[in-house]
Every structure is written in C-alpha cells, then in structure tokens.
C-alpha cells in the first residue's frame, strides 16, 4: 500500500514538473552567427533561449560539425542562420545528424535570413578558379541596416508562427525594434556622413553591404581571389599601386589573419583597422553597429 | 536509361554551368520584382543532386617489393596490400547525394580503381537515411561505412595520411563497409551523447560468408563536447560481432609459392571491441588558420573457430584456431598555416593466436613469428584551397621482419559540390 502511495506521489511530482516545465518552456533557438543570436534575443525576449553556434572571432565559412553543435541542433525549435551557402560546409551535416524534424529545410523552424532579402554580387560565372565564391551572392549582408530591418520583420512573423502563445510579445518587440532601428539609421547616416567616399583596401571581400550603405570606395582586395590567402607577389603589386594611388584605410575582419594587412599598412602608412565582424557576447545589434561605425570614423579622420 | 541520366547530370554540372546560370538569372529577375528572394539556401547546393568527383593520383616508392607485404599474426583481407609502385591513380570517386524528399536523404559513392590492369567499379556506399525523424532518431539503410571506430566512417580522401592505420589494414582490409540497417539516437542533452546499433548482412570482409539473416552487428556509443571555444573532444566505444562466419578467405604467409595458391579460410565467431578518442584545438575556434588534432584508436579482436587451407591436400589441411589480435595508433595533425599541414602517426599491432596445427597456423600467416608489426609515418600537406591537396608522406614500415622505407607523393582534388566539414 505504502509503496503504491509512494509511486503515485512520484507520478504526481513528475506530471507536475512536466506541466510546470511546459508553462515556462522557452523556444530553443540555434543561431548560426552571433548577429542572428542578438537579433533573436531582442525580438524574443524572455520567451526564447538562444544559442549561438559561432562567435565574432570565428570564420562562419569554416566551422566543423562538432559534437556540441549536433547536440544543440538536436534540441532546437528554431534555426536562425544566414543561408546563401555561408554555412554550406557544416549546417547540412548538422541537420542530417540531428534527428530533429522541426528545423529541416521547409519546416517552420528553418529560418534563413538570405531567403528574405536580395543579395549583392551574384556571380555571373561559377568557376572555382575564381576562388571560393557563393553562387547565391555575397552572404555578409548583416552590415546593411536596411536588410536587417527586413530580416527582423520576417523573423518576428516566424516567431509568432512557431510560438503563437507569445505572439503578442513578439509583435510588440518587433515594432519596438523597427522603430528604434529606423531612428538609429537616420542618426548614423548623419553622424557618419564623413565616411562617404572614403577609399578602402579590404582583406576579404566581405564588406560589400557596408560599402554600399556608407558610400565607401573599395580600391583593392588583399586576397587575390575569395578565400585564397594573398601571395607576396600580389602584395607587392598592391603596394606599388597604393603608393601611386593611396587609400584612406585598410580593413580586415577580426577573425582573419592580419599579417598582410599590417605589412601593407607599415609600408604605406595607411591606417589599418580590424573590425569586429559580428556582435560580441552580451552586446545588442545596435551597440555593435555603434561600435564599428565609431571605429571606422576614428580611423578615417 | 539510368546511366544516361547520370551522364547528363554530370555533364550539366561539371561542364555546362551556363545552363544553371540561365535559370538563376530568371530567378533573380523574379525575386527583384517581388522583393523576396530565392529558394531555401541551406540545401547543399543549387544542383540536385549534389555531385562531386574526387581525383586521386600518386607516386609511390617502396624499398621492398610490395608483393611481399605481410602482417605476421594477421591474415590479410582483400584490398589490404600496399598498392601500386611508381605512378598510379588511386580511387577515383564519384559521389552523388541529395535530400530525396522531406523524409529521406540519399547518397551514393562509386569508386573506380585499377586492379591488375583492369578498371574496376566498386559501389562503396549506397544508402538512404531518414531526415528529421524526431526525438534525435535516425535510421540509415543500404550500404554504408560502419560507425565502428572513428576513422572508419570517413572517406579515404579525407584521411590525414595516404594509407589506413595498420590496425585498420589488419582487421578490416582498410575499412569496414557492409549492407544493413543502422539506428542511432542523440540524447537531448547539451553534451553530445550518441547511442546506436547496426545489423549487417555480414557477407563482406571481415565477416565474409553468406548468411540468411544477420551476419554481423555492431553497437556504438559516443560522447563529446567543447571545452571553452578552442577545444573540442569526442570519446567513442564500439563493438562488432559476427557469429558463425563461414569461409572468410584471406591472404596467407608468403614463401610457399609452388602450385596453386593455398588460401586460408576462417570459419567461426569473431568479435571486436574498440575505443577511440579525438581532441581538437583551434585558436579562437577558427580551424581555418591554425588547428591541431590528436587522434587515438585501439582495437581488440577475439576469434574462435577453424582455419582451413583451400586448394591444399588431399587431405585438406585444417586447424582449430583461437585468435587474439590487437592494435592501436595515435596520430597528430598540425595545420600551422592556412595552406600547410604536418602530420605524424605511430601504429603498432600485437597478436596472441593459438592453433592445434602449427603447420597450418604458420602457413595462414597467423603466427606472429615473434614480431611486433609497427609503422611510423610523417606527412606534409599543401592545401591550396578547400578543394585541393598535395601530400608528401614517408613511412618507416616494420610490418614484417624486413624494414621498408616508403615514400608517397599524392594529390587529392575534389570537383563539384562543396564537401562537409566533418568532426
């Protein structure tokens, strides 16, 4: 008798804990890059639990399908990634290994930012001799605040579909974000007007969207071809060209090897800046934009 | 008919990208009008199915005659020789894969290899697997690389050395492939935990022998995770077992070569236990620029049955056989620059086999002759891009009594769709 009683008590406790779990259960979000993790946190607030697969220090092209990532995708309710073949080397493998139906392509929980905007630099010719190019276009669009706005809208809609119970919260957060972001864009465009027309040398061709937005002029790229490290011959050619026709700054992403950029800066006297390629831990998208814009401005003036 | 489709697909992918481009242009126009974008972009590529072609060529120099190769204490299976000397093309592989629909993924690997002057086509893999079955479950069916060990499930072109570790050569004939079903489950935990099992036909080496039902089975468990951002690891345990093997043929001991070759044939039970460990380090978690890998595996096989020498006698020579073979290897790989990588490997085998008939035992190559097979390898890889690799490798091979110095110069190139970054 007492054993049976004990059993039923345990059962009650178990049921209760399951119920209470489902009440506070938060949506598990697997973000491939930190910028989407930050955006999802802003839009989802307390209703989401966000895991970022990469940090701003990691090159999102070259991630391995590590065991820890498989374990995280296994439990995800929503995947928020760049798409456009950026995660081609690892995301398909994670999806196949996960045994999770919620986040497979075409499922509600599969959100690729690239699917909601248009991309720049769609190659006219697909040939690997041109380097590691993306057939869908340049995937580093998180530097364009207008595209971020479009993605935020789409992501808000997606969140309400996945978790209708909290749709009011998502709607409200979405509205808030749009409003603040629009104001910020106006402010930034005023504050950083001085950057317009600045001539830049880039390490890898991943600043196109920033160039377009701010009106920066790319005069040279250190990598002879996308993904191929610069050779000394290529660098000395560039040095000669820059001496003839100088630039205002040399840009590289923080996760990249800065050796060539620094070498060129020393030889030419052009300032070099390593920009944070994405949001750092506990930073919001807006703080990150402020941070790199100020860095650009201080280097360019 | 199928062949034609295949050929057309290959032609379209590899040579006629304009066709695809034309299509893309259309999509682009459409997307600009509606201001929404193209179809989902995580699919492995715009091509369906994804096709990749692996080209592998090598120059090999051996101190000893490769035909004399043996591993005392281990009766060698098929395809476990040293390969051709001089210039040769290795395995040319054609891999086709795609999501079949929303429920299944399919993949096929065809390997073309030169064997004694003739080009042979081998179906290395042909499997389907469930996609997002739910609850962390995945079922795979068809012909596939077994989850036994760590290296086994990787394609040879992804290996850090030109050849398989000695223990893989000794136990599996380089790689364990079989037809069957695999079930795996990933636990809903933040630490990676995978449990799984395979039931296999067992008609291929090292099971070898036709059976009606389940010829072999495996069980495996893997646990792994990250320590901070820069370190990651995985530990695996696996077990393979084949009961009632009938007539598994292998190569015997050399030096008795008059008349028809006598081939040892094993019948009985066989089981293998294995442990594997992998640790990787990359500064800032960024393996592209610099990374380090440590890999260790240990295998232990116990067998019980009879060994018969085919083509012997009359009377046919046969012996009771009780085998215990084990081996391990450890290797490190250090990518010190984005395009350069150096690797070191050491492997060693050991056996403690016994048989009722000493003559047959020796002839079958199962007597270790008091020798401990071992090999040390060093390799330097140049990786111009993610798709190409040129490797120089040196082996000091003490597989048998006579030390062999081996040198390989190898290229491995991958054309077509982007490969996966496996852990």
pLDDT 10s digits, B191-219: 999 999 999 998 888 887 666 788 999 99
Interface test with B, best of A32, A79, A88 (most B CBs within 10 A): A88
In a domain? residue A9: no
Q: Flag whether residue A81 sits within 8 Å of chain B, measured between CB atoms.
A: yes
Q: How many other CB atoms are there within 10 angstroms of residue B221's CB atom?
A: 15
Q: Is B14 helix (H, G, I), strand (E, B) or coil?
A: helix
**Residues of B numbered 219-238 whose beta carbons fall under 8 angstroms of chain A's beta carbons: which are they?**
222-226, 229, 232, 234
In this complex, how many residue pairs, one in chain A and one in chain B, have their CB atoms less than 8 Å apart? 192
Q: How many other CB atoms are there within 10 angstroms of residue A9's CB atom?
A: 10
The closest CB to that of B423, out of A65, A107, A228, belongs to A65
Contact criterion met (CB < 8 Å) for A55 and B285: yes
Domain holding A33: CATH number?
3.40.50.1980
CB contacts of A74 in chain B (<8 Å) are 136, 186-188
Higher pLDDT, B52 or B31: B52
**Residues of A numbered 98-117 whose beta carbons fall under 8 angstroms of chain B's beta carbons: which are they?**
98-107, 110, 112, 114-117
Cα within 13 Å of Cα(B80), Cβ side: 27
Rounded Cα distance between A260 and A203, Å, is 8
Residues A85, B413: contact at Cβ < 8 Å?
A: no
In a domain? residue A5: no
Q: Is B364 helix (H, G, I), strand (E, B) or coil?
A: coil
Written as six digits, the tokens of B316 are 């046919």
Rounded Cα distance between A199 and A300, Å, is 9
pLDDT mean over B281-301 = 95
Residues A44, A68: contact at Cβ < 8 Å?
A: no
Q: Residues A265, A124: one domain? A: no
Question: Looking at A283-287, B201-205, B320-324, which range is the least confident one?
Answer: B201-205
Containing structural domain, residue A148: 26-188
- Which of A161, A188, A215 marks a domain boundary? A188
CA B292 to chain centre: 22
Q: Residues A149, A278: one domain? A: no
Contact criterion met (CB < 8 Å) for B36 and A96: no
Number of domain units in chain A:
2
pLDDT mean over B378-406 = 96
pLDDT of residue B50 exceeding 50: yes
pLDDT of residue B39 exceeding 50: no
Rounded Cα distance between A128 and B387, Å, is 9
Contact criterion met (CB < 8 Å) for B42 and A83: yes
Condensed to tens digits (0 to 9), the pLDDT of residues B68-98 reads 999 999 988 877 788 889 999 988 999 999 9
Distance from CA of A186 to the nearest CA of B (A): 23
CB contacts of B421 in chain A (<8 Å) are 62-65, 89-90, 93
List Cβ neighbours of A233 (8 Å cut-off, separation of 6 or more): none
ipTM of the complex: 0.86
Q: Residues A207, A263: one domain? A: yes
Domain ranges of chain B: 57-416
Q: Residues A150, A225: one domain? A: no
Q: Are strands B231-249 and B263-281 parallel, antiparallel or unpaired?
A: antiparallel
A274-289 burial, b at 16+ Cβ within 10 Å, e below that, comes to bbbbbbeeebebbebb
Structure confidence at residue B46 (pLDDT): 52
- Which of A188, A205, A238 marks a domain boundary? A188
CATH topology for B57-416 is Porin (2.40.160)
Structure confidence at residue B278 (pLDDT): 98
pLDDT mean over B251-269 = 72
Interface test with A, best of B21, B42, B226 (most A CBs within 10 A): B42
Most distant CA pair in chain A: distance in Å?
94
At A258, the pLDDT band (50, 70, 90 cuts) reads confident
Bridge partner residues of B307 (DSSP): B266, B319
Q: Residues A164, A250: one domain? A: no
Q: Is A296 exposed, middle or buried (0-12, 13-18, 19+ CB in 10 A)?
A: buried
Structure confidence at residue A282 (pLDDT): 85
pLDDT mean over A125-135 = 76
**Residues of B numbered 128-167 whose beta carbons fall under 8 angstroms of chain A's beta carbons: which are they?**
129-138
Express as a percent the part of chain B with pLDDT over 90. 66
Q: Residues A148, A219: one domain? A: no
Distance from CA of B224 to the nearest CA of A (A): 6
Type and span of the H or E element at B30: helix B17-34
Q: Are strands A27-31 and A78-81 parallel, antiparallel or unpaired?
A: parallel
Structure confidence at residue B190 (pLDDT): 94
Rounded Cα distance between A246 and B140, Å, is 59
- Which of A129, A156, A188 marks a domain boundary? A188
Distance from CA of A119 to the nearest CA of B (A): 8
In a domain? residue A75: yes
pLDDT of residue A133 exceeding 80: no
Q: Flag whether residue A119 sits within 8 Å of chain B, measured between CB atoms.
A: yes
Q: Residues A53, A119: one domain? A: yes
In a domain? residue A123: yes
In a domain? residue A1: no
In a domain? residue A4: no
At B189, the pLDDT band (50, 70, 90 cuts) reads very high
Choose among B287, B281, B295, B283: nearest CA to B386.
B287
At A14, the pLDDT band (50, 70, 90 cuts) reads low
Rounded Cα distance between A278 and A53, Å, is 13
In a domain? residue A15: no
Q: Which residue bears the tokens 């050619």?
A: A237
Distance from CA of A127 to the nearest CA of B (A): 8
Q: Residues A168, A207: one domain? A: no
Q: Flag whether residue B102 sits within 8 Å of chain A, measured between CB atoms.
A: yes
Type and span of the H or E element at A175: helix A167-191
């Amino acid at each position: 008798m007492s054993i049976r009683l004990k059993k039923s008590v345990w059962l009650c406790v178990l049921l209760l804990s399951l119920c209470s779990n489902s009440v506070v259960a938060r949506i598990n979000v697997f973000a491939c890059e930190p910028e989407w993790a930050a955006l999802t946190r802003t839009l989802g607030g307390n209703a989401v639990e966000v895991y970022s697969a990469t940090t701003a220090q990691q090159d999102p092209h070259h991630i391995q399908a590590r065991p820890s990532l498989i374990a995280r995708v296994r439990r995800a309710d929503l995947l928020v990634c760049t798409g456009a073949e950026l995660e081609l080397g690892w995301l398909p493998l994670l999806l196949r290994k996960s045994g999770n139906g919620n986040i497979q392509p075409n499922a509600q929980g599969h959100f690729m930012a690239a699917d909601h905007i248009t991309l720049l630099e769609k190659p006219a010719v697909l040939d690997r001799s041109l380097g590691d190019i993306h057939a869908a276009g340049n995937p580093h669009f998180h530097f364009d605040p207008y595209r971020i706005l479009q993605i935020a809208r789409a992501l808000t809609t997606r969140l309400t579909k996945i978790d209708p119970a909290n749709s009011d919260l998502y709607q409200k957060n979405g509205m808030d974000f749009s409003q603040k972001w629009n104001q910020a864009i106006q402010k930034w465009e005023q504050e950083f007007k001085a950057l317009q027309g600045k001539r830049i040398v880039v390490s890898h061709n991943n600043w196109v969207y920033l160039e377009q937005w701010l009106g920066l002029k790319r005069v040279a790229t250190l990598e002879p071809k996308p993904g191929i490290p610069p050779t000394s011959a290529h660098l000395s050619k560039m040095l000669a060209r820059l001496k003839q026709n100088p630039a205002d700054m040399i840009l590289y992403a923080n996760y990249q090897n800065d050796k060539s950029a620094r070498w060129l800066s020393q030889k030419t006297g052009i300032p070099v800046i390593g920009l944070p390629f994405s949001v750092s831990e506990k930073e919001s998208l807006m703080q990150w934009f402020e941070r790199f814009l100020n860095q650009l401005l201080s280097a360019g003036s | 008919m199928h062949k034609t489709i295949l050929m057309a697909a290959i032609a379209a992918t590899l040579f006629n990208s304009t066709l695809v481009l034309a299509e893309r242009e259309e999509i682009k126009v459409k997307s600009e009008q509606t201001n929404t974008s193209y179809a989902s972009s995580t699919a492995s590529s715009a091509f369906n199915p994804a096709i990749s072609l692996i080209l592998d060529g090598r120059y090999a120099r051996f101190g000893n005659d490769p035909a004399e190769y043996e591993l005392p204490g281990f009766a060698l299976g098929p395809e476990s020789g040293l390969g051709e000397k001089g210039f040769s093309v290795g395995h040319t592989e054609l891999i086709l894969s795609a999501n079949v629909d929303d429920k299944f993924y399919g993949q096929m690997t065809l390997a073309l290899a030169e064997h004694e002057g003739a080009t042979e086509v081998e179906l290395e893999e042909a499997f389907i697997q469930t996609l997002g079955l739910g609850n962390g479950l995945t079922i795979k069916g068809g012909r596939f690389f077994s989850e036994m060990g760590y290296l086994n499930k990787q394609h040879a072109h992804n290996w850090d050395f030109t050849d398989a570790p000695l223990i893989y050569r000794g136990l599996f004939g380089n790689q364990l492939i079989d037809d069957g079903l695999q079930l795996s489950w990933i636990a809903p935990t933040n630490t990676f935990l995978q449990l799984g099992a395979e039931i296999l036909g067992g008609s291929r080496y090292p099971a070898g022998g036709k059976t009606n039902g389940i010829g072999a089975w495996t069980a495996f468990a893997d646990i792994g995770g990250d320590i901070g951002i820069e370190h990651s690891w995985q530990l695996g345990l696996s077990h393979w077992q084949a009961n009632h093997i009938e007539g598994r043929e292998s190569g015997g001991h050399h030096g008795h070569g008059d008349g028809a070759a006598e081939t040892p044939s094993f019948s009985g039970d066989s089981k293998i236990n294995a442990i594997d460990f992998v640790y990787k380090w990359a500064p800032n978690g960024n393996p592209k620029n610099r990374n380090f890998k440590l890999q260790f595996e240990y295998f232990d096989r116990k067998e019980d049955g009879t060994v018969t020498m085919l083509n012997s006698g009359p009377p046919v020579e046969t012996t009771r056989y009780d085998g215990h073979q084990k081996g391990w290897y450890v290797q490190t790989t250090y990518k010190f620059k984005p395009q350069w990588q150096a690797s070191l490997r050491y492997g060693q085998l050991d056996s403690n086999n016994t048989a009722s008939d000493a003559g047959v035992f020796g002839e079958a190559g199962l007597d270790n002759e008091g020798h401990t097979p071992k090999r040390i390898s060093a390799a330097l890889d140049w990786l111009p891009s993610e798709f190409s690799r040129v490797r120089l490798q040196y082996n000091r091979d003490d597989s048998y009594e006579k030390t062999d110095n081996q040198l390989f110069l190898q290229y491995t190139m991958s054309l077509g769709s982007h490969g996966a970054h496996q852990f």
